[in-house]
Structure 1
Amino acid sequence: MDQGVAVSKTKKKFPVSLGFGLLIGCLGWLIPYCGLAITLLPAKIGQIDPTHKVTWVATFSAVAMTVAAISNIIMGALSDRTRSRFGKRTPWIVGCTIATMIIFYIMSMINDIKMLLFLYAIYQIALNGVVASLVAFIPDRVAPDHRGTASSFMGLGSTIGNYGAGLIAAHFIIHIQFGIWVFAVFAFVMEAIALWLIKEPGNRDEPREQLEKAGDFVKSFAPPIKGTHDFYLALFGRLLLTAGSNMIVGYQLYIFTDYMSLNSGQTTTNISLVSSIMLIAGIICGVTAGPLADKVGNYKYPVAITTMLVGIGAFFPFFMAKPWTMIVYALIAGIGNGAYNAVDQALTVSVLPNPDTAAKDLGILNLANTLGQIVGPVIAGVVISSAGYRTMFPVVTGVCLLGGILILLIHRSK
């Protein structure tokens, strides 16, 4: 264990600089990702092939899901095994962020749908290199008693990223290329600030398990097997919540234009309003939920309740194809997601089966986020194509309620 880990786990005071580094680092990858995946990529696909845009969005999600499923685990395992003067997380965050900038620039310049699909798949590798490494700073550097607070910082970043991205990207719908450039530069600047605040120490002297046989190499990348009851319940609970949320978010643009029949100006206004409501509600709940959970001493019940709350909010657009139903959804889901994001990371850290493989195992857990953001639009695409937009909303409700039930089955509460 490196010196930074040993010192941090003995401190009674929460490392505030690290907390803000986690928040800014989360914004650095999530805002560009959501801005691209939720708004700018569907808009660009709509320009290239408007006739088959729904099918293409689902195809992009399916391909990205496959790549993410592999790369998230591998990147986390490689990060765990890295030894350098800059630590084991920093090199991967820097390298993958630079790769993201290059990929974004190329994506902004091309109009070939198949090449765009290929680049989006490559982007998933770089994205997961950043995510798997960044989230591992919590078990690396934060004492157990402060992990709810650390989770709040990341949860706040997640809330701002998820909904702030839509607010920003909505203004680039007719300037897609420039919007992608803005997100590329944003990613680099924010990750640079985050790493400066985190100040990961070098770890050249940290011991590393030797891989003497081919089986040892495979094992170092394999999902955990022993003591994993809570681990996999947390994983699938998170997957269902994220998938349910992104069934709506992934088709938000088309919900307003195709389901509610709004023009481009009305769509921009309503996307901005929905994003603003979810952002404000999420921030208010996100700031308070993590520290409160630390004091109460329970993470399981807040995560389960907020997961179900998102599902309840998602049912309202089923009643009527009017913008006000999305406003109600935004308020309820904003509260639920804000509180969820603030506490969920602390719960997942508490169910890790082995601290020595934290990044790999968190990479598997965080794969639920990536897969959920991809699986959600795939499921939504199938439901919309076969039964229409209205049917999608009760499906979202059912998915989120099931996710909450899985969380309730976890044995650990903290």
Structure 2
Amino acid sequence: MLDSPSLPAEAPAPQAPPGFVRRLALGQFGLYLAVLAPVMGGLSVKIQHLVGLDAAPAQLGLVAGTGAVFAMVAQPLAGRLSDRCTSRFGMRRPFLVGGVAVMAAALAACAAAPSVPVLLIAWCVAQGAGNFAFAAAGATVADHVPEARRGSVSGIVGAVTPVGILVGSILLSVLPNDFLRFAVPAAVAVVLGLWFAARLPDRVRTEPPTEPLNPRSLLLSFVFDPRKHPDFGWVWLSKFLIMLGYGALAGYLTLFLAAEFGMEDTDEQLRFNALANGLSVAALVVASVVGGVLSDRLGRRKPFVTAAGLIMAAVLAVVTITPYLGDAGLGTLLVLEALLGIGAGLFFAVDNALAISLLPSQDDTAKDLGVLNIANALPSSLSPFLAGVVVIPVGNALLGGAGYSLWFGLAAVFCLVGALLVTRIRSAA
């Protein structure tokens, strides 16, 4: 049953409605499961089956990188349209429902794709639609959660991201074929996403926006002025770099195992992937929840985000040498996955709360969150593009086959620089 109280667009709810956080967490879990399961291994295995191991890195980079463009466009565009929406069903609900439904259909098309071009088109549609839903869901936090609780809520929501990764990895390892590896996560997203949308106490905009919607205003959906809002610019750039580094290992783990450890059986790759993600997620969930609570109690955000980036940078630097450790390499890689989870947990717990406190305008919450979410969504798809098309081939050619080590070393630099940029933020603790 729809619950849509008429609230002025500019009046945020004074407290989170009963059950809102639980439903938001489950809805986000469904979305992350559907989108991240392909990124965490489903796409790479599908492409290996279509074109073989040798051609897989470049083809994976093409598919994921092009999809990233659609993600980049969809997030802020959906945010702008959502802030202006005067539907009687609410400001956010239409984008949640439409995004989830189209994403699920596109993922089913990915599952059945007989060639890379068909997979490319379907994945781009899935990324665009999924990010419409993500933009609307993210805006509900600013709509309904007071500032004092956003660290705790961000920690809870941040924890479901790795749970989605873990469940997705397990599903990838136990489902028997490529079709089910895409379709089952999509079905879960439909059920949980529509349930969240149906129970959402959505804001209803009672008056149309005063500014007309035109090509210029749509273009402004994708930008902000860092000169006017420098702290928002720094938090955007730091998030982008840390997420770009963090996604480096996840996006290419299965191909890394095949190329550097001789693990060419895709089922074996997915089993190791599930074990590694299990260790990472266990550490991430604990660090996320604890980090969010501590951040609220101390009233500090920046130290947690900085520490997270430094931990991830150190872990990725050590990953570069695991192929040279002989029999201990795979075991070391599992330990590093757990340590990476600790760093990521601290980051996911606190970074969102820090970013929301620095939004340029309370009147354009979803639009600004859409711009911010580019830094969150784009790297997870951009990493395979940079790795497969540029860094790994160049590294293999110039460094005697050390392309993966070059890639993970570069990822460590991304995380390090992102962590240091947090110190440039002046208007938050």
TM-score normalised per structure 1: 0.93
5+ unaligned residues in a row in structure 2: which ranges? 1-5, 324-328, 396-402
Question: Cα–Cα, structure 1 residues 218 and 15, in superposed 2: closer, same or farther, change >3 Å?
Answer: closer
Per the alignment, residue 423 of structure 2 pairs with 408
Deviation at 1:25, TM superposition (A): 1.6
Residue 208 of structure 1: aligned partner: 209
Report if the CA contact (8 A) 1:104-1:180 is conserved.
yes
| Counterpart in the other structure of 1:117 | 120
Cross-structure match for 2:245: 244
Shift of 1:216: 6.1
Moved over 6 A (4+): none
Q: How many residues align?
A: 408
Q: Which residue of 2 aligns with 1:44?
A: 46
Give the deviation of 1:308 after TM superposition: 1.5
Q: In the aligned structure 2, how far is the partner of 1:401 from the partner of 1:374?
A: 20
Which one-letter code corresponds to 2:302 in the other structure? K
Contact 1:242 1:376 in 2 (8 A): no
What is the SS of the residue equivalent to 2:129? helix
Alignment CA distance shift 1:360-1:337 (3 Å): same
Q: Do the aligned residues in 2 keep the contact of 1:4 with 1:141 (CA within 8 Å)?
A: no
Residue of structure 2 equivalent to 1:171? 174
Given residue 187 of structure 1, which amino acid in structure 2 is its aligned partner? Answer: A
2:31 match = 29
Contact 2:73-2:222 at 8 Å conserved across structures: no
How many angstroms does 1:5 deviate by? 7.6
Change (3 A) 1:318 1:200: same
Distance 2:228 2:298 in 1: 25
CA RMSD, aligned part only? Answer: 2.1
Asked if structure 1 preserves the Cα contact closer than 8 Å seen for 2:9 and 2:205, the reply is: no
1:373 aligns with 2:376: no
1:171 to partner: Cα distance: 2.4
Matched residue SS, 1:250? helix
Checking the alignment, whether the CA contact within 8 Å between 2:169 and 2:270 is kept in structure 1 is no
Percent of pairs identical after alignment?
A: 24
Instruction: State the SS of the aligned residue for 2:365.
Output: helix
Q: 1:292 aligns with which of 294, 297, 300?
A: 294
Describe the SS at the equivalent of 1:92. Answer: helix
Q: In the alignment, what sits opposite 2:59? A: 56
Preserved CA contact (<8 Å) 1:301 1:413: no
Aligned partners of 1:252, 1:179: CA distance in 2, in Å? 17
How far, CA to CA, are the matches of 2:153 and 2:186 in structure 1? 26
Is the 8 Å Cα contact of residues 108 and 180 (structure 1) preserved in structure 2?
yes
The runs of 5 or more residues in structure 1 that have no matched partner are none
Q: Distance in 1 between matches of 2:121 and 2:219?
A: 29
> Quick check: 1:72 aligned with 2:75?
yes
**Is the aligned partner of 1:356 residue 2:363?**
yes
In the TM superposition, 1:288-327 aligns within 5 A as 288-321=290-323, 322-327=329-334
The SS at the match of 2:320 is: helix
Separation in 2, partners of 1:116, 1:320: 32
1:143 aligns with 2:143: no
Distance in 1 between residues matched to 2:97 and 2:91, nearest whole Å:
11
Give the CA deviation at 1:411. 1.1
Equivalent residues of 1:61, 1:374 under 8 A apart:
yes
- From 165, 188, 191, the equivalent of 1:189 is 191
Q: Which residue of 1 aligns with 2:326?
A: none
Give the letter for the 2:394 counterpart: S
Structure 1 residue aligned with 2:159: 156
Q: What is the CA-CA distance between 1:204 and the residue it aligns to? A: 4.1
Q: TM-score, normalised by structure 2?
A: 0.90
How many angstroms does 1:115 deviate by? 1.5
Question: Could you give the per-residue CA deviations for residues 292-347 of structure 1, whole angstroms, max 9, x where no partner exists?
Answer: 21111111110111012111111222223221221122111101111111111101
CA 1:269/1:162 → structure 2, altered by over 3 Å: closer, same or farther? closer
Q: Alpha carbons of 1:206 and 1:158: their partners in 2 closer, same or farther (altered >3 Å)?
A: farther
